[in-house]
Amino acid sequence: MAMPVVAIVGRPNVGKSTIFNRIIGDRVAIVEDKPGITRDRIYGIGEWNGKAFSVIDTGGIEIDGEDEIIRSIRAQAEMAIEESDVIVFMVDGKAGLTPPDSEVAQLLYRSHKPVVLAVNKVDNLQRMDNIYEFYSLGFGDPIAISGSHGLGMGDLLDAVVERLPEGQQEQYGEDVIKVALIGRPNVGKSSLVNAILGEERVIVSDIAGTTRDAIDTPFEKDGQKYVLIDTAGMRKRGKVYEAAEKYSVMRAIKAIERADVVLVVLNVEEGIIEQDKHIAGYAHEAGKASIFVVNKWDAIEKDTHTMHQFKQKIRDHFLFMTYAPITFVSAKTKQRLQTILPMVNEVAEQHSMRIKTHVLNDVITDAVAMASPPSDKGKRLRINYITQVAVKPPTFVLFVNEPELLHFSYARYLENKIRDAFQFEGTPIRLTARKKSEDE
C-alpha cells in the first residue's frame, strides 16, 4: 500500500526544514552510523494518530537574486503540487505577508490540492495578531506554529491527517515480483525498461501506475510474473526542472515503497555522483532488495580491468550497500540484458528468506565463541538467543542482558556472520537488540 505524500512548501527562510525535522522526529530513516551513507535529507516518514505518510521538504534551493527567487519558488511549488497529496504552505509570522507568499498561493490555489496554511515563528502571544493578514491568501484558518519551540504542531498535524487520502491498495498478487527502476535523470531508465520488454516480447498490458508519474508494465518470463515500475520522465520541461535533479528522489521514493526489488541504474559514461548515493540510500533505508545496473556499457573504451575497476568504484561509493550485486548492461545494444531477471529472482528469494531459530542460534553461538561480546564499565554483553521476526527485509532480534552494550561494530560483526552462513545476497538485513525479560 502506497503511503500518501505531504509536501512542505514556502519561500526560503520560513523554517520549512525545522518543521520537516519536527514532523519526522526520530523516525529519520538513516539511523545507522554506516560509512558512505549520505545524510542530506529531503524525505522522511511522519506519523500522527496512527496514520503514516511520506514528508517532502522542498527547502534548500540556491537563490541568486530577486527574479531567481520567484522562479525557484514557483519551481518548487509546482513540483510539490505534482508529487503530493496534501501541501503544508508555510509562511513567516514574524516577517508578515510578502509578494513571494502570494506568488506561491496562486499556484497552490489553482492546483485544487488540499492545503494547510501554517504561520511559523509565532513564538509568543504578541505575534498571534500577525496571523490575521494571512487569511487573504484564501486557504481558510491559518495555524499558528513555532518550529523552534514546537508550539502548535499537534494542531498542524491534526489538519494534515484530516486531509490525507486513504493509502492505495496494491493491485498485484503475492506471486508477482515488483521491480522499480530508480536513478537520477538521464541514466537510461526508460530505455532499459523498453530494452527488457522488447527482448522478452511478452508484454501483457500497460496499466497506469498508482503514482501519478510511474507506469506499471506487467509481463511474464519463464513462468515468473513481474511488474516493471518506471519512474523516469518529468512531465515539466525547462532549465529550472532540468537543474532540480534532487526532485527525482520524490519519484524514486514512491516506486521504492511499492517494489520488491529495486534496480539502481547508474550511467557508466557520467560515473557516480552524490545524487546516485542519495537515491540508492533510500532503497537501502526502505529495506528493499537491490541490484546495481550499470547502463551504457557499450559506450566506453574498455580493457580487461575496466569492469573490475568500476565495480570497485561502486563498492567504495556505496559502502552501505555491499550486499547488492552489480551487473553491466547496454539498453542500446541489448548487451548482458539477460543477466537482470535471474538476478531479480535471486535477490527476491533472499529478501523473503526465513531461517529457523535453532540454526540461527548455532551461528551466533559460534560467532560469540570466536569473538567475545564487548563490555562497558565492567558489564559484558550476554546474548541469550536470536530469532527472525520478519522478512522483506530479513529482520532479527537478539535477546540480551543489556541492549545498550551491543556496540555498532559488534552488531556489524554478527551481521557479517549471518551473511556468511546464509548469504542474503541483494538484501539488507536488520539486527536489533532487546532486553530478555525474566519470564522469557
**Which residues fall in the annotated binding site for GTP?**
10-17, 57-61, 120-123, 183-190, 230-234, 295-298
Cis ω before 114 (30° cut-off from 0): no
User: What whole-number distance in Å separates Cα of residue 37 and Cα of residue 18?
Assistant: 22
Contact, 297 vs 268, CB < 8 A? yes
Q: Phi and psi dihedrals of 87, rounded to 5?
A: -115, 130
Q: Which residues are annotated as a binding site?
A: 10-17, 57-61, 120-123, 183-190, 230-234, 295-298
Q: Phi and psi dihedrals of 51, rounded to 5?
A: -110, 125
Q: Phi and psi dihedrals of 303, rounded to 5?
A: -135, -170
CA-based nearest residue to 182, from 266, 270, 265, 297:
265
User: What whole-number distance in Å separates Cα of residue 96 and Cα of residue 122?
Assistant: 11
Strand pairing category for 379-380 and 86-92: unpaired
Strand pairing category for 395-400 and 383-390: antiparallel
Contact, 67 vs 82, CB < 8 A? no
User: What whole-number distance in Å separates Cα of residue 337 and Cα of residue 344?
Assistant: 12
Distances (CA, A) of 42 to 18, 20, 25, 320: 12, 9, 14, 19
What sections of 1-152 are H helices per DSSP? 16-24, 66-83, 99-111
Q: For the beta carbon of residue 392, count every other beta carbon within 10 angstroms.
A: 14
Contact, 380 vs 408, CB < 8 A? no
User: What whole-number distance in Å separates Cα of residue 177 and Cα of residue 218?
Assistant: 10
Edge-first strand listing for the sheet containing 5-9: 43-48, 51-57, 5-9, 86-92, 115-120, 143-144
Distances (CA, A) of 67 to 64, 71, 118, 240, 246: 8, 6, 25, 13, 22
Exposed, middle or buried by CB within 10 Å (0-12, 13-18, 19+), for 174?
A: exposed
Q: Residue 382 is placed in which grid cell?
A: 550476554
Beta bridge partners of 88: 8, 116
